[in-house]
Copies of this chain bind each other. A is one copy, B any other.
Amino acid sequence: MHKLRYGEIVSDDPEFIPEVTVIRLPVYRRCLVELTEQGITTVSSARLAAMAGVNAAKVRKDLSYLGSYGTRGVGYDVEFLLFEVSRELGMTTDRPVVIVGAGNLGSALVGYSGFNDRGFPVRAIFDNDPTRIGISLGDFEVMDLALLGEVVERDEVAIGVIATPPGSAQAVADALVEVGIRSILNFAPCILDLDRSIAVRRVDLASELQVLSFYQRQADPLGSQ
């Protein structure tokens, strides 16, 4: 077992994998799945690098953290590397998910099969608004947030998804941590203040759209008027 804690630099730990590498592992995994589908059995670091959009030295360095060095002049065995990356990403086990916030985004997410398809089955959706509790969203009925702890324990939930307005996100994050959740995917446009041992990833659709809007304005001759 690794001793790594999220966000912490533990450079003297031989099993430490830096976060920048962790973030690229899903990209490599996707490339390896694609190669498998094409029936390709070995891949050079140069080819994997081109597919992943990084340079070959970085690929070799990243994979060396997994103990994978490939064979000189041959490259990496695709199937074995896919197994190693998937194992490192903890994808050999399902990671049950709960969603908190049954507004527009939460309702959209609960109907999105991508969670389930990728080994992250949604177990429940919660809200604390009495007008939302009990309503049906596809296969789910919105549950009272007061029952969060019970569900997390019963279904061995690993990941909490926050789909609330930003003003409620910190309180929801604290509630998730309180009931034992260690991994949070935050869709609320705010930065959460949590213990560094809690893994947090943020998906901020509004910010992404605003960045595109910035570049759109640059391209538009009327944009700066």
Interface residues of A (CB under 8 A from B): 1-2, 4-6, 17, 22-23, 25-27, 29-30, 34, 52-53, 88-91, 93, 95, 97, 104-105, 107-109, 111-115, 118-120, 158-159, 166, 182-185, 189-191, 197, 199, 201, 203-221, 223-224
Docked CA distance A198–B198 (Å) = 36
Docked CA distance A213–B29 (Å) = 14
Docked CA distance A45–B153 (Å) = 43
Residues of B within 8 A of A108 (CB): 108-109, 111-112
Q: How far is the CB of A211 from chain B (nearest CB, A)?
A: 6
Docked CA distance A104–B118 (Å) = 13
**Interface pair A95/B212, CB less than 8 Å apart:** yes
Residues of B within 8 A of A224 (CB): 1-2
Residues of B within 8 A of A212 (CB): 95, 158-159, 183-185, 199, 201
Residues of B within 8 A of A114 (CB): 104-105, 205-206
8 A-B contacts (beta carbon < 8 Å): A30-B190, A34-B166, A53-B191, A95-B209, A108-B109, A108-B111, A201-B211, A203-B205
Known: A105-B114, A191-B53. A91 touches B203 (CB 8 A): no
**Interface pair B105/A112, CB less than 8 Å apart:** yes
Residues of B within 8 A of A89 (CB): 210-211, 213-214, 217
Docked CA distance A25–B212 (Å) = 12
Q: How far is the CB of A212 from chain B (nearest CB, A)?
A: 4
**Interface pair A91/B210, CB less than 8 Å apart:** yes
Known: A1-B218, A215-B183. A23 touches B207 (CB 8 A): yes
**Interface pair A214/B95, CB less than 8 Å apart:** no
Residues of B within 8 A of A214 (CB): 17, 22, 25, 88-90
Knowing that A25-B214, A89-B210 touch, tell me 14 more A-B residue pairs with CB under 8 angstroms.
Answer: A2-B224, A4-B215, A23-B211, A27-B191, A53-B191, A88-B214, A89-B213, A89-B214, A90-B223, A93-B217, A108-B112, A120-B213, A197-B219, A203-B203
